[in-house]
Amino acid sequence: MKKTAIVLMSVSLVFMSGCWDMAEINERIFPYSVGIDLNPDEGERYIVTISYPNIFAIGKNATQEERIYNVSSISSTIYEGIRQVNTRIPYPLYFKHLGTIVIGKTFAEDQESMRKLVDSTNRDFTISKRVRVITAEHMAHDLLKSVPIAVKQEAIEGTLFNMLKGNKKTSRYIPQNLTRFLQEMDMGGVSIMPRAAFHGEDLKIFGGCVFKNFQFVGHLGELQNRAVALMRGNIKETLVVAPFEDICISYSVSSSKAKKQLEINEGDIKITIHVETEGVLREYIYTDEVVEITPDILNEMEKAISKTLEEETKEVIRILQKDFKADGLGIAEYLQKFHPKIWEEVSDDWEGIFPGITIEPVIDAKIRRMGLTG
């Protein structure tokens, strides 16, 4: 009996040597962002840049100065690039907390590369599928290299990620994540992700890049991006400046709803997009005499705001239909969900049909509150 016990105990020692997958947290590198470019020079195709925090430079007793490291590698596939980077750094990379994927401009224009990128990221087990995607104005490599010299920076979680997460009180860019990007691509073949650029001392995220079939087709400005978001019902908060009488008034939107409606006249598709916004009057003018804001004045103001927004949206619709020929408004998605029979008829040639359909925005801005003054 005693002998068996001893044998069993010594056998169990084999299982006590620890686990194959043991990894200390300080022996892993957690990258903030990955930047991917097409190589402009000769040689292999891609440049992969990985930026990660230097944990020895963070905290009270920091022993090193450089807070953010950037490592790049040139390779023929994206995955190979990451592997090559792995050989140049002391610890293995661990992508579970990857925050942002930065796509270079030329890379975005190459459909095949984009398709490879989304496939490999979506296939990966560790990468969170909510990873934010943005497109750099030029090279992703340059943008990531400029992050450490930006004045306002965040070493712990990553500057770009912090700018893209949470509720920013703006709709001039709408943060995009991988899941939603793919969803929009699958639904209508078009998706929009924000642009990023480095100006002077500041990193700036703004506007949108329109992707059609995983290929970059054009830029949207800040206000244009807001108009798209308005029609898709994505707006959380935004500020509208509208001309009223001789001056400009500021109106901040606190919530908005968008509803699409389909009409068919003699085979022509007409989509009406009803947008309803609610908000607060922020800025009018301080007059010498007290002016009572009557319902009539308020109505006029609401009309002025609606008109401004309507002009903005009409312009964007024109750009999307005529210039980009890309359905960035989610109309394909709407047809698929609510009018599947009609979608079946048009789905084969949606790219050809979309520029020809009539889209009419109807905007109803409501001022709910006016602040402390009457």
Partner 1 sequence: MEGNKRVSNKQIRAMVVSTIVGVGILSLPNQLAMASGNDGWVSILVAGLLTIGVVVFIGKIFDIYPDKDFFQIGREVLGNGIFSIFLIILFAYFIALVAFLSRSLAELIRAFLLATTPTEVIIITFILCTSYIAREEINIIGRLAYHIYPLILISTAALIIVSIPGLDPTNILPLFQSNVKEVPGGIRTSFFSFVGYEILLFSFFYSEKKDGRLKSAIQGVLIVMLIYVTIFFTTLAQYGLHGLQRQAYPTLSLVKEIDLPGFFVENLDGVAMAIWVLIVFSTMAPSYYSAAKVFSNLLNVKDHSMFILPILPIAYIISLLPQNTVTLTETLGKFLDYSGLIVIVILPVLIYFVGIYKLRRNKK
Helical H runs in the chain?
2-12, 78-86, 105-108, 111-123, 140-146, 159-164, 178-188, 222-232, 295-318, 331-338, 340-346, 350-353
Q: Which range touches partner 1 (CB under 8 A), out of 1-9, 243-251, 268-276, 332-340?
A: 332-340
Is residue 115 a contact point for partner 1 (CB under 8 A)? no
How far, in Å, CA of 11 to CA of 15, rounded? 8
Task: Select 88 or 96, whichever has its Cβ closest to partner 1.
Answer: 96
CB of 170 to partner 1, least distance (A): 18
Q: Give the integer Cα–Cα distance in Å for 74 and 39.
A: 7
Residue 345 contacts partner 1 per CB under 8 A: no
CB atoms closer than 10 angstroms to residue 218: 16
Residue from 138, 337, 368, 369 binding partner 1 (CB under 8 A): 337
Q: Which two tokens stand for residue 312?
A: 């903005």
Q: Is residue 165 a contact residue for partner 1 (CB under 8 A)?
A: yes
Please report whether residue 338 would count as binding partner 1 according to CB under 8 A. yes
Does the footprint of partner 1 cover residue 336 (CB under 8 A)?
yes
In terms of CB distance, is 322 or 341 closer to partner 1? 341
**195: CB partners within 8 A, 6+ apart:** 134, 135, 136, 137, 173, 205, 206, 207, 208, 209, 219
Q: Is 27 in the site for partner 1 (CB under 8 A)?
A: no
Can you read off the two tokens belonging to residue 90?
């002391």
Smallest separation, CB 51 to partner 1 (Å): 20
Contact range with partner 1 by CB under 8 A, out of 24-32, 46-54, 127-135, 286-294: 127-135
**Residue 154 identity (one-letter amino acid):** E
Distance CA 35, CA 14 (A): 44
66, 186, 202, 345: which one binds partner 1 (CB under 8 A): 186
Q: Interface with partner 1 includes 20 (CB under 8 A)?
A: yes
- Applying the rule CB under 8 A, the residues between 74 and 103 that interact with partner 1 are 96-97
How many other CB atoms are there within 10 angstroms of residue 143's CB atom?
25
- 183 in contact with partner 1 (CB under 8 A): yes
Max Cα distance, the chain (Å):
104
Give the residue, chosen from 340, 352, 368, 373, that forms a contact with partner 1 under the rule CB under 8 A. Answer: 340
- DSSP symbols for 42-95: SSSSEEEEEEEE-GGGSSTT---S--EEEEEEEESSHHHHHHHHHTTSSS-B-G
> With binding defined as CB under 8 A, does residue 19 bind partner 1?
yes
**For partner 1, which is the closer residue by CB, 64 or 179?**
179
Q: Which is nearer to partner 1, 32 or 251 (CB)?
A: 32
Q: Is 362 in the site for partner 1 (CB under 8 A)?
A: no
Evaluate whether 99 touches 161 at the Cβ level (below 8 Å): yes
Question: Does residue 129 touch partner 1 according to CB under 8 A?
Answer: yes
DSSP 8-state assignment for residue 306: H
255 binds partner 1 (CB under 8 A): no
**Where do contacts with partner 1 occur on this chain (CB under 8 A)?**
19-21, 96-97, 122, 125, 128-130, 165, 179, 182-183, 186-187, 336-338, 340
